[in-house]
Structure 1
Amino acid sequence: MNTVSNSTVRCVGGIVHDERGRILLIRRANEPGRGLWSVPGGRVEPGETDEAAVIREMREETGLNVMPGTYVGNACRGRYDIHDYACSVTGGTLRAGDDADDARWIDAVTLIELDESGRLAELLLVTLRDWGVLPTADGSPE
């Protein structure tokens, strides 16, 4: 049986890649992780399913409508228990909103630069690598 402490906050995230293989990241506008780049997502509200939370959080933070798909993995960061899902974009226009002050498609080169400069959320690069969802785009022009 999986027991979760009352102080644990269940969260979700959406892993989205574009047709070029870039991954969608947001720069957090608020704590925790203010100013760091991360996967879009947030808290699951009481009575909300993970799927509904992913759809809501992605729309709020990125302006995109998504369809959650396969469960990708789980990461615990402090009291946050984060469950990430692969998503496909079904509509909307990319723009930062809600808890994000920027949202953009990130290629592999940029992801490494963000990690090396300390601008990625804690262990994000390692986690994405371990889950097999790193961006495949290399930063070359189309």
Structure 2
Amino acid sequence: MTDSSRHVACVGGIVFDPDGRLLLVRRANEPGRGMWSVPGGRVEPGESEHAAVVRELAEETGLAVVPGALAGVVHRGPYRIADYVCTLAPGSAPVPRAGDDAADARFVDRAAYDALPVVAGLTEALGGWGCLPRA
């Protein structure tokens, strides 16, 4: 059995606004209900990871993004989550709105990030990839 067949393929989007604040969502469903994380979700059958990031961010935050480089991969239980650094699509306003399985969505600076209950391992992963809020 290959690694990918044992795990549910998921993606996450790491997005900064022009001020260096990081986009986070408060999860409305398990796993991590009520906790904050980067937006993302499952990759649908036949869908590329980049297409999944674009779809998931639109569904959860209403934002149009352009996926870029892979920041890193984490494993959480049965989930293999590939997190991509994304930029806001040209001409899109950086005003997130919660949708789909997000209870809230916002850009946060470092002080706000540090005050939020984030999902286990998020700070370590983002810190290791140089992707914590810059503001």
Q: TM-score, normalised by structure 1?
A: 0.89
The SS at the match of 1:58 is: helix
Percent identity over the alignment is: 56
Q: Distance in 2 between matches of 1:103 and 1:27?
A: 6
1:45 paired with 2:56, answer: no
The SS at the match of 2:120 is: coil
List aligned pairs for 1:58-137, cutoff 5 A. Answer: 58-90=57-89, 91=92, 93-114=95-116, 119-137=117-135
1:30 paired with 2:35, answer: no
The SS at the match of 1:73 is: strand
Unaligned runs of 5+ in 2: none
In angstroms, what is the RMSD of aligned CA positions? 1.4
AA aligned to 1:24 is L
The 8 Å contact of residues 111 and 125 in structure 1, kept in 2 or not, is answered as no
Q: Distance in 1 between matches of 2:69 and 2:84?
A: 6
The SS at the match of 1:74 is: strand
Higher-Rg member (1/2) = 1
Deviations 1:31-53 (A, max 9, x none): 11100000000000000000100
Aligned length, in residue pairs: 132
Unaligned runs of 5+ in 1: 138-142
